[in-house]
Every structure is written in structure tokens, then in C-alpha cells.
Amino acid sequence: MSDSAEVPLRELNQQTSRVLARVAAGETVTITKDGVPIGDIVPRGALTGRPAYSFRTDPMGDLDIPDLGGPVLDDEEIEATLRGMGDDVGGGTDA
């Protein structure tokens, strides 16, 4: 198990190379701002208790969705279609 230490954000800003050298040596560093933890810097490959993905998991802009040739419907047509399926798109109750 690796060592762990808290480092204030100011120290990280002023001594980035030293802090990263500690991480490279296997130490996990928790960055704090005003004494409150705001993030962790962990050695590459360390187990953090949460998944690490080798790809982006955040939204990456517009999707390239193919045109399937269906009709273009406005909001009223979509609502009418959904009502016809039995859905209450207005959010009301039937009670």
C-alpha cells in the first residue's frame, strides 16, 4: 500500500516538480484548498477504488447520427404521436 499525504494547493503551485516526484515515487497526494480536500494525484496504475478508463467518458460534442429517412416532426406532432401511444407527455395524472 502506498503512502498518502495532504498538500495545500499553494504548495502544489509553488513546488509542482517536488510534489510530482513524490507521486512518481509511489505516494498518493491529496490536494487541499483551505484545508478541504479537492482532488488526488495518484501514481499511474495505482488502485483508487474507482474505475480508470483509457478513453474519454464525458460528452464529446455533437453526435454524428445518420439520417434514416423518416419524417421531420415538430413538437406538436411528436406530442400527438405520443398521446396516441397512451403516454401523457404533459406530466398530468389520470386520477
Give residue-wise pLDDT tens across range 9-33: 999 999 999 999 999 998 999 999 9
11 burial via Cβ count (<10 Å: 0-12, 13-18, 19+): middle
The pTM of the full predicted model, rounded to 2 decimals, is 0.48
Domains defined along the chain, listed by start: 1-44 (3.40.1620.10)
Q: 64-90 pLDDT, tens per residue? A: 778 888 888 899 998 888 888 874 555
Q: Is residue 93 scored above 60 in pLDDT? A: no
Q: Is residue 94 scored above 60 in pLDDT? A: no
CA separation for the pair 5, 29 (Å, rounded): 5
Residue scoring higher pLDDT (58 or 30): 30
